[in-house]
Amino acid sequence: MKILLAEDEEDLRDVVTEYLRFQGYQVTPVCNGAEAFKAAKEDAFDAMVLDVMMPVMDGITAIKKIREIGNTSPAIFLTAKSQVEDRIEGLDAGADDYLTKPFSMEELSARLRALGRRKRDYRPRLLKFGNIELDMEQSELKAINTISLAQKEIRLLSYFIDHPDEEITAEDLIKEVWDKEQANNDMVMMYVSFLRGKLESVQANVMIECGEDQSYRIREL
Partner 1 sequence: MDIYGTYRQTMDKVMQDLADRIRAGGNPSGHDKLYEHLSCRIKSDESAREKLRRKGLEESTENALLKLKDTIGLRIVCRFVDDVYECVRLIRELPGLRVVKEKDYIHDAKPNGYRSYHMVIEVTVDEEDVAGNNPGHYFAEIQLRTIAMDTWAALEHELKYKKDISNQEMIVRELRRCANDLAACDISMQTLRKLILS
Q: Can you give the binding site for partner 1, defined by CB under 8 A?
A: 138, 140, 144-150, 190, 193-194, 196-198, 201, 203
Nearer to partner 1, 26 or 145 (CB): 145
DSSP state of 136: T
Nearer to partner 1, 123 or 196 (CB): 196
Minimum distance between the CB of residue 193 and partner 1, rounded to whole angstroms?
A: 5
Nearer to partner 1, 92 or 186 (CB): 186
Nearer to partner 1, 55 or 197 (CB): 197
Minimum distance between the CB of residue 190 and partner 1, rounded to whole angstroms?
A: 6
Minimum distance between the CB of residue 152 and partner 1, rounded to whole angstroms?
A: 11
Nearer to partner 1, 83 or 203 (CB): 203
Sign of CA dihedral 65, 67, 70, 75: positive
DSSP state of 140: E
Strands 126-129 and 132-135 turn out to be antiparallel
Minimum distance between the CB of residue 187 and partner 1, rounded to whole angstroms?
A: 11
Nearer to partner 1, 12 or 187 (CB): 187
N-terminal to C-terminal alpha carbon distance within the chain: 26
Other C-beta atoms lying within 10 Å of the C-beta of residue 38? 13
Minimum distance between the CB of residue 140 and partner 1, rounded to whole angstroms?
A: 6
DSSP H stretches of helix in the chain: 10-22, 33-42, 59-68, 84-92, 105-117, 119-122, 151-162, 170-173, 185-201
Minimum distance between the CB of residue 119 and partner 1, rounded to whole angstroms?
A: 25
Distance from C-alpha of 221 to C-alpha of 188, rounded to nearest angstrom: 23
Report residue 211 CA to chain centroid gap: 23
| DSSP β-bridge partners for residue 128 | 133
